[in-house]
Chains A and B, each alone.
Chain A
Amino acid sequence: MKIHIDTDLCSGHGRCYTIAPELFDADDVGYGVVKTPEVPDDLHDLARRAASNCPELAIRIDE
C-alpha cells in the first residue's frame, strides 16, 4: 500500500498526522507530509482511517 497527499488540496487540518503519526508528519506550519510512503501491512487500517478523516479528501491510497 502506498499513500500520497495532494498538496493542492491539503489545507493543513492536521487530521492525518494526529490520527496516524506513524505515517504522516506536519511540515513546519502544519500542512501534512507523508512520512512512510510505503505503508507496512499492520498499518493499512490506520492509513485508511487517516484518509477517511481528511476533510479535503487530499489523501490518496494505492492498494
Chain B
Amino acid sequence: MTGPHTAPKIFEAFDHSSDPALRARHFGEWDRLREVEGSFGSSLNPDRTVWFLLRYADIHTALQDYELFSSSSVIPFTDEAHHWIPEEIDPPEHNKYRRILNPAFSPQVVAGMEGAIRVACADLIDGLTGAAGCDVIADFSRQFPTRIFMRIMGLPVERADELLEMVHNLMHTNPTDDPDGAIRGGAMMAIYGLLTEIFHSRRAAPHDDLMTTLVQAEVDGRPLSDDELRETGFLLYMAGLDTVAGAIGYVIKHLAENPDQQRAVRERPASIPAVVEEALRMYSIVTTSRVVTRDVEFAGCPMKAGDRIVVPTASANRDPAAFEDATTFDADRTVNRHIAFGAGPHRCLGSHLARAELRIALEEWHARVPRYRLDPDATITEHIGGVAGLDSLRVTWG
C-alpha cells in the first residue's frame, strides 16, 4: 500500500489526455508507468500537484475513502464552474440525489428493457452486413448505446447525430487541439441549452422518461433547482452516451485480433458474460479524479490539501499485484474483482445497464456478422481522458 522508498517523481507537464506515449500505447503505457513509477505527480498546474495513482490497492482505497478524497471536482488540471450531480457531490448529500436516480437503473428495470435493447442492437447490425466490413465505432458502438440511453432519458432520438457530435467535441477534444477550451466550452453550452429546453417541456407535459422523473423529484422536501437539473442531466448525458461506446470498441478489437477467442464466443454464447467481465477488466476506459481534503502521505506521495489524484481504472485492473496473469485475457478467471465501474459510493450508476448492453452487443454481433478481422489498411487511434475509446475501428468480414 505504501509507495516505494524513493520519493515519487514529479513530471513537469504530464497530462494523461495529451501524453504522446499514452496516446500511442495506452494500456501498455499505463502498465509501464505503474511498474516503473507506481505513483507520480504532475506539476502542469502551478497551483497544485496532480498525483497519479497507478496501483490497484491505492486506487481502491482512494475511491472508497470519500472523506480523504472528495469528489467535489473530478477534473484534475483546470478549475471548472460545473458541479455535476451526483458525481461531484460527497456523501451524505450524494445519497439524496443518487436515491432519485437509482430506481431507473436497477437490475430489475434493466431486465425489463432487455427485449427493446436487443431489437435496437439487431437492427443496427443487420444494416452493416451487406458491405465488405464496417467501422465498428461510427456504425455500431456509438449508435447502439446512444439509442437506448436517449430513450431512457427522453432525449429526441431524431437528433441523435447532433447529440453524439456534442459529446464527441466535449469528451474527445484534448488540450493540444483545443488550447483555449473553445470547442469543449461550446459543446458544454450546447448540451446545457438542449437539456434546459427539454426540462421546460417536461414540466409542462410529463412523459414516461427520466427527464420527467427529474423535474418531479424532490430533495429535502423541495424540487430540484434549474441548476441542479442541468448538472444532473449533463452528467447522465456524458456518462450514458460515451462509455459503453468505448467499451464495445475495445472488446470487438480484441476479438478481431484473437480469432480463436472470437470463434469461442460465436460457438458458446453462454461464455459471453464472462468475456464481458474480462474485457471490462483488461480494457477499462474510465480515469477519474478526486480532491485531496487534508495534508497526507498516501501511496508514497506527499499530498497537500487541494492537490488532486488521478486514478486510471485501466491501471488498477491490470495490476499484477491484484490479478494473476494480469495482462492475459482470461475469461475463465474465477476471481475478477475489477473496478471498471469504480468503487465506493460513486459506483457507476449505469453499471447494470452497461453490462446488459455489452452482453447483448456481443450476442447479437456474433449471431449476425460473419468472421471479422481488423482492416489491414486502417490505422487505429485512440482518445484518452476521463473516458477512453477508439476513434475508429475498421473491420472486414471473412
Kindly state whether residue A53 has any CB partner on chain B within 8 Å.
yes
Q: A14-B351, A49-B334 are in contact. Are A28 and B103 (CB under 8 A)?
A: yes
- Please state if B334 and A30 are interface contacts (CB–CB under 8 Å): no
CB proximity to A under 8 Å, residues B255-283:
273
- Please state if A13 and B335 are interface contacts (CB–CB under 8 Å): no
Q: Could you list 18 examples of A-B contacts with CB < 8 Å? A: A11-B345, A12-B351, A13-B347, A28-B103, A30-B102, A30-B105, A30-B106, A30-B107, A30-B108, A49-B334, A52-B334, A55-B60, A55-B337, A55-B338, A55-B343, A56-B64, A56-B343, A57-B337
- Please state if A28 and B337 are interface contacts (CB–CB under 8 Å): no
- Please state if B334 and A29 are interface contacts (CB–CB under 8 Å): no
Kindly state whether residue A9 has any CB partner on chain B within 8 Å.
yes
Residues of chain A within 8 A of B273, CB atoms compared: 18
Residues of chain B within 8 A of A55, CB atoms compared: 60, 337-339, 341, 343, 347
Partner of B107, one of A9, A26, A54, A57: A26
- Please state if B347 and A11 are interface contacts (CB–CB under 8 Å): yes
Q: Which 9 interchain pairs have the tightest Cβ spacing?
A: A11-B347, A29-B102, A29-B106, A52-B335, A30-B106, A30-B107, A26-B107, A55-B339, A55-B337
Kindly state whether residue B396 has any CB partner on chain A within 8 Å.
no
User: Chain B residue with minimal CB distance to A56?
Assistant: B343
> Mostly helix, strand, loop or mixed at chain A's interface?
loop
Size range of the interface on B?
20 to 34
User: Chain A residue with minimal CB distance to B99?
Assistant: A29
Mark A1-23 against chain B: 1 for CB-CB distance below 8 A, else 0. 00000000101111001100000
Residues of chain B within 8 A of A52, CB atoms compared: 334-335, 337
Residues of chain A within 8 A of B196, CB atoms compared: none
Instruction: Report the minimal beta-carbon distance from A7 to chain B, rounded to whole angstroms.
Output: 12
Residues of chain B within 8 A of A49, CB atoms compared: 334-335
Size range of the interface on A?
10 to 19
User: In the assembly, what is the distance between CA of A18 and CA of B105, in Å?
Assistant: 16
CB proximity to A under 8 Å, residues B314-340:
334-339
Residues of chain A within 8 A of B347, CB atoms compared: 11-13, 55
User: In the assembly, what is the distance between CA of A11 and CA of B338, in Å?
Assistant: 14
Mark A22-49 against chain B: 1 for CB-CB distance below 8 A, else 0. 0000101110000000000000000001
- Please state if A53 and B336 are interface contacts (CB–CB under 8 Å): yes
User: In the assembly, what is the distance between CA of A54 and CA of B343, in Å?
Assistant: 10
CB proximity to A under 8 Å, residues B91-115:
102-103, 105-108
CB proximity to A under 8 Å, residues B111-162:
none
Residues of chain A within 8 A of B341, CB atoms compared: 13, 55
Kindly state whether residue B352 has any CB partner on chain A within 8 Å.
yes
User: In the assembly, what is the distance between CA of A13 and CA of B336, in Å?
Assistant: 12
Besides A13-B351, A29-B102, A55-B60, 16 more A-B contacts (Cβ < 8 Å) are A9-B64, A11-B344, A11-B345, A12-B347, A14-B352, A26-B108, A28-B103, A28-B108, A29-B106, A30-B102, A30-B106, A30-B108, A53-B335, A53-B336, A55-B338, A56-B343
